[in-house]
Structure 1
């Protein structure tokens, strides 16, 4: 499909963008749009929320594959799970889009902003906001809060959903046959998604089994890839 999108320009006259990526399906459309606009950007993969490690590696390797395909630099940050679980303590039963998700976005944006500050990037953004399952205001608040820690660093809150971006994301995912995540990423979202599936009489999630373009794929799943979240 053709997109209706205005010319892209980084905030504050920034020349380089550090793009936090939650996964290949959510970042595919963003990456191709940035490339078409001639924007110099680097992928930053820091997602210590993703559980278990098999799921984490699947998501990361898909993202690396797509970045390599487009010649985009890829920063593989630490899988800092102990820190994530420490910050999530006491929030284990909070609902999706609640304070646990705010903590999770804060943590990922804080590391993104720090790396940007240390490596000469004047702007940061994320693919998280393209998902219709996400609260964009919640994400943007976390992004702006993280960037405000460092003078001269801006958070770019461009709405990647508009102009057909969300649908284009699914088209790219099918074209590339990306792995389709079926839950947000953390152990608590996996637990809650499996509870929901059991209540519907459906099987539990089997990690690494569903790919875009496969027969029986679920593009409406509240997971991270495609129509999902990170």
Structure 2
């Protein structure tokens, strides 16, 4: 039996929203989200604000991959400040918190508050994030942070759309392979890198080699 061609369902912004500011964490997570938005003819702009990403070389590589994909589809891209010192300041005392814990809540709050501030100042009435498509993230935690950030601004919504549903997670991987996106092997922050490498060493694996692994390489 032949596979039927995939047909996307049209999606709409909540509460008759007109313009979306999409916080993007990286190209692999945002690829499927962006293609779904384009297919539904939703007016959106990418907002890249991720001062948690460490080291700077990793941050630059993830950002450039995101810019490349946005430019391919003629999507506006806002490159926000890399105020990493402020991120580390907020993370003080949480250095040993586990993934998905209070440090991650702080991190989402910081990024979404900045996203909402930019949205309010520039005519966007909806914000959302590509973070929620990753199976490694707690979607409820992300949505709570997003809704809280949007609630500080009048007539603004945080879109809690589940990007994983109806094959979104699988298409995320397919798009990453098709585009040969850089494959990041840890969430992004210094503590995530530390803990991931610790786990890898304890399980007989090599430490992460930054900047070397790309989706699709294993198939060549």
1 CA distance for matches of 2:49 and 2:20?
16
TM-fit CA distance, 1:7: 2.5
Please state if 1:197 is matched with 2:200. yes
Number of the residue aligned with 1:128:
131
Please state if 1:172 is matched with 2:182. no
1:48 pairs with one of 45, 48, 51: 51
TM-score with structure 1 setting the length: 0.92
2:148 pairs with one of 145, 148, 165: 145
2 CA distance for matches of 1:211 and 1:108?
26
Number of the residue aligned with 2:157:
154
Number of the residue aligned with 2:24:
21
Please state if 1:207 is matched with 2:191. no
SS in 2 for 1:161: coil
Number of the residue aligned with 1:187:
190
2 CA distance for matches of 1:159 and 1:22?
16
Number of the residue aligned with 1:105:
108
Contact 1:4 1:164 in 2 (8 A): no
Contact 2:8 2:36 in 1 (8 A): no
Number of the residue aligned with 2:13:
10
CA RMSD of the aligned region, Å? 1.4
CA change 1:216–1:102 in 2 (3 A) is: farther
Structure 1 gaps, min length 5: 218-230
2 CA distance for matches of 1:64 and 1:3?
26
CA change 1:144–1:103 in 2 (3 A) is: same
Contact 1:3 1:164 in 2 (8 A): no
SS in 2 for 1:152: coil
Structure 2 gaps, min length 5: none
Contact 1:5 1:163 in 2 (8 A): no
Q: Considering only CA atoms, is the larger Rg found in Structure 1 or Structure 2?
A: 2
Contact 1:87 1:103 in 2 (8 A): yes
Deviations 1:41-70 (A, max 9, x none): 000000000000000000000000000000
2 CA distance for matches of 1:171 and 1:61?
20
Number of the residue aligned with 1:91:
94
